[in-house]
Amino acid sequence: MNFCFTLTAFFIDRKGAGQLSQRRYQRSRLKNQMQNIAIVGGGIAGILVAIQLINRAKPGMSLTIFDKAGQFGRGLAYQPRQVAHLLNVPAGKMSLDLKAPDDFLQWLARQPAFVADEPAVLAQAYLPRALFGDYVAARWQEALNRAAQQGLTLELRAEEVTALDLTNKAEPRLKTEDKWLTFAALVLACGNELPRHPAGAPALTNHPAYVHNPWSDSWLQQLKPHSKVLILGNGLTMVDTLLSLRAAGLKTPVLSVSPHGYGMLPHRHPGLQLSQFSQALPEQASLRQLLRLFNRARHQVRRLGVSAEPLIDALRPHTQRYWQQFSLAEKTLFMCRLRHLWGVARHRVPLHLHDQLQQQRLNGLLEVHAGQVMQARSAGDQLILQICSRVHRDVAAQTFDYCADLVINCTGPEQDYRKLTGHPLQQAIAAGALAAGPLGLGLAADTVSLCVKDANDAVQPAVYAIGSLLRGELWESTALHEIRLQAQHIAGELLS
Ligand SMILES: Cc1cc2nc3c(=O)[nH]c(=O)nc-3n(C[C@H](O)[C@H](O)[C@H](O)COP(=O)(O)OP(=O)(O)OC[C@H]3O[C@@H](n4cnc5c(N)ncnc54)[C@H](O)[C@@H]3O)c2cc1C
C-alpha cells in the first residue's frame, strides 16, 4: 500500500483526526522528503529494516538507529554467549535475504569449519546461534560499507529512547538523552523485553539469588558446582539455561517449574510435507474447525507411527491469517487453553539436544514440575519458594517448599507493554498515542501497512512496528522468517 494513500485514507476516515488538514499534512510530507527515518532498536529486526533501506536508498535519505544496549546487529538472540545455544530453525531457512534463500548456507560454505561439510546436511543442521550472529554481523558490516559508498547519512546511536511524542502525526518525535528529536518516520523495533516477575512473590524481585535476565550470563559467576537451581519456565530459554549451567560445571539436579510441565518435543521428520493436510486448510476457519481438522490429521499420522509435529509446520504459513480471523473470544480461548500446547509443538529442540534433556531427566538431573510459585521468602543468600503443584483431575493441590541458591526466570519475554512501568511504549499507550494489541499483546497496528494505531483505533501513519511488537495482531511474529518479510514491507512503505 502506498504510504501517501494510507494517510489520505486516514484523514478521510477519522472524524476530528486532527487539526491538520490533508493539504497541510502533504506540505509537511514534502518538507520531510529528505526521508529522515529513525529506527528504535538495533537488533535483527531493526537492522533488517536498515539493510533494506540502504539497498534501495533514495538520495537524501538519512537513517538513525537507536539502541540502548549499544549493540547493532545481533540483538538479544544471537550474541556470542555459548556455542551450545542452538538455532531452533535449520540453517537452510535462516537466510537474511529473501531474494537469496541460501545466503546463510553460502556464507557458511566459506567458513573454514564447514568447507568439508555436505551442503544438504548443513542445510538441515541446527547451528550455534552465535555463529548465525557472526553471519548477521558480516552482512551488517557490508551494508554499512555500501551506505558509506553511497554517501548515505547513517547514524548509530547507543542511546535509550525514553519517550515518544506522536501528537503531530506527520512528524513523530522521540526523546533521548533529554532531547526531543523529530523524524519523518519511526520504526519501533524494540524486540524482546525481560520476563514478567512471578505474581505473588515480591520477595523474589530484589533478592541476589533471583535472575531476572536469563539472556545475560553474568549470573553464572554466582554458580557453584553444588548450587541448588530452580528454573521458572520450561521452554527454549530453559533449555539454553540448563546447557549454560552444565557447561559451567553444575553437578546437582535442576528443578524446572512451569504451569503445565509439558516435556519439550524434538524436531522429527525434517522436510516431511503434509500436502493433503495443507490442501485441506480452508481460506477462512474458526478455531473449532481448525481443531477438528488438526485432531483428525493427528490421529491419521499417529496411526502410521509418524509424529504430529509436522502438522504444526504445515499450519504455520497460515497462522497469521487465521489469528486475524479469530474473534476476541476465540483468541482468549486459545490463550487460556491452547497456548501452552501450541508453544510445545511449535518451539521444538534439535533431536540431539532432546536426547540430552531426556538423559538428564533419566539420571535425575532434571525434574520438570507442573505447578506455580505461590510465595517466596528470603533465607540469607538463598530463596525459599513455596510451590503449588498443578491440580490434575482427582489429585488435590499439593504445596511444598524449595530452597534455592539461584532462581532463574525463563518464562519468556514480557509481551504486555502496559505492565512495563516507565517504558516509552507503556507511556505512549497510557497517553493514548498508541494502543495495546489484542489481549494486551504488543501494540495495536494496521496489519496491512504495519503502522501502529492510537487509542481511537486510528492509524499513526508515520510509525511502524515490527517483530514481537506485532504479536497481538499477528500471533506468529517473532521468528526470522516473519521479521525479514516485515522488514522488506516496511522499507517498501517508507520509500514508496
Ligand atoms: C533466546 C532466543 C532464541 C531465539 N532463537 C531463534 C531462532 O533460532 N530462530 C528464529 O527464527 N528466531 C529465534 N528467536 C526469535 C527472535 O526473537 C528473533 O529472531 C529476533 O532475535 C528478534 O529481534 P528483534 O530485533 O526484534 O529483538 P531484539 O533482539 O530483542 O533487539 C531489540 C533491540 O532493541 C533495543 N531496544 C529496546 N528498547 C529500546 C529503547 N527504548 N531505546 C533504544 N533501544 C531499545 C534493545 O537494546 C535490543 O538491542 C529467538 C529469540 C530468543 C529470545
With respect to residue 343, please indicate whether it lies within any of the assigned structural domains. Answer: no
Distance 491 CA to ligand 1 centre (A): 19
Question: What are the respective helix, strand and coil percentages of the chain, to the nearest 5?
Answer: 40, 20, 40
- Closest of 303, 306, 302, 301 to residue 277, by C-alpha: 301
The domain boundary, picked from 382, 409, 436, lies at 409
Is 237 near ligand 1, meaning CB less than 6 Å away?
yes
pLDDT averaged over every residue in the chain? 90
**Judgement on whether residues 322 and 434 belong to the same structural domain of the protein:** no
How confident is the model at residue 25, as a pLDDT? 46
How confident is the model at residue 80, as a pLDDT? 87
Over residues 359-385, the mean pLDDT reads 95
Is 414 near ligand 1, meaning CB less than 6 Å away?
no
**Judgement on whether residues 308 and 428 belong to the same structural domain of the protein:** no
Atom of ligand 1 lying closest to residue 71 CA: 49
Show the domain range for 315.
275-326
* pLDDT reading at 416 higher than 70: yes
The domain boundary, picked from 409, 431, 449, lies at 409
Over residues 389-413, the mean pLDDT reads 86
**Judgement on whether residues 243 and 279 belong to the same structural domain of the protein:** no
CATH number, residue 372: 3.50.50.60
With respect to residue 332, please indicate whether it lies within any of the assigned structural domains. Answer: no
**Judgement on whether residues 26 and 73 belong to the same structural domain of the protein:** yes
- List pLDDT tens digits, range 129-179: 999 999 999 999 999 999 999 889 999 999 999 999 999 999 999 999 999
Over residues 452-471, the mean pLDDT reads 97
Residue nearest to atom 41 of ligand 1 (CA): 161
Query: Is residue 253 very low, low, confident or very high in pLDDT (cuts 50, 70, 90)?
Result: very high
Residue nearest to atom 34 of ligand 1 (CA): 41
Predicted structure pTM score: 0.91
How confident is the model at residue 201, as a pLDDT? 83
Lowest-pLDDT choice from 125-139, 300-314, 349-363: 300-314
The domain boundary, picked from 409, 430, 451, lies at 409
Distance 468 CA to ligand 1 centre (A): 8
User: For the chain, what is the domain count?
Assistant: 3
Query: Is residue 230 very low, low, confident or very high in pLDDT (cuts 50, 70, 90)?
Result: very high
With respect to residue 245, please indicate whether it lies within any of the assigned structural domains. Answer: yes
**Judgement on whether residues 66 and 185 belong to the same structural domain of the protein:** yes
Atom of ligand 1 lying closest to residue 413 CA: 53
Atom of ligand 1 lying closest to residue 48 CA: 25
* Count of C-beta atoms within a 10 Å radius of residue 319: 18
b/e sequence 274-313, b meaning 16+ C-beta within 10 Å: beebeeebeeebebeebeebbeebeeebeeeeebbbbbbb
**Judgement on whether residues 60 and 132 belong to the same structural domain of the protein:** yes
With respect to residue 145, please indicate whether it lies within any of the assigned structural domains. Answer: yes
Is 66 near ligand 1, meaning CB less than 6 Å away?
yes
**Judgement on whether residues 50 and 144 belong to the same structural domain of the protein:** yes
With respect to residue 252, please indicate whether it lies within any of the assigned structural domains. Answer: yes
**Judgement on whether residues 387 and 433 belong to the same structural domain of the protein:** no
With respect to residue 111, please indicate whether it lies within any of the assigned structural domains. Answer: no
Going by C-beta distance under 8 Å and a sequence separation of 6 or more, which residues neighbour residue 231? Answer: 238, 241, 242, 254, 255, 256, 257, 408, 410
- List pLDDT tens digits, range 308-327: 888 999 999 999 999 999 99
How confident is the model at residue 269, as a pLDDT? 86
b/e sequence 127-154, b meaning 16+ C-beta within 10 Å: bbbbbbbbbbbebbeebbeebeeeebeb
Residue nearest to atom 50 of ligand 1 (CA): 77
With respect to residue 115, please indicate whether it lies within any of the assigned structural domains. Answer: no
**Judgement on whether residues 322 and 458 belong to the same structural domain of the protein:** no
Residue nearest to atom 27 of ligand 1 (CA): 191
**Judgement on whether residues 317 and 447 belong to the same structural domain of the protein:** no
**Judgement on whether residues 258 and 207 belong to the same structural domain of the protein:** yes
CA pair distance 393, 440, nearest whole angstrom: 31
With respect to residue 95, please indicate whether it lies within any of the assigned structural domains. Answer: no
Query: Is residue 297 very low, low, confident or very high in pLDDT (cuts 50, 70, 90)?
Result: very high
**Judgement on whether residues 297 and 443 belong to the same structural domain of the protein:** no
Is 467 near ligand 1, meaning CB less than 6 Å away?
yes
Atom of ligand 1 lying closest to residue 132 CA: 8
Lowest-pLDDT choice from 142-146, 258-262, 449-453: 258-262
Distance 43 CA to ligand 1 centre (A): 5
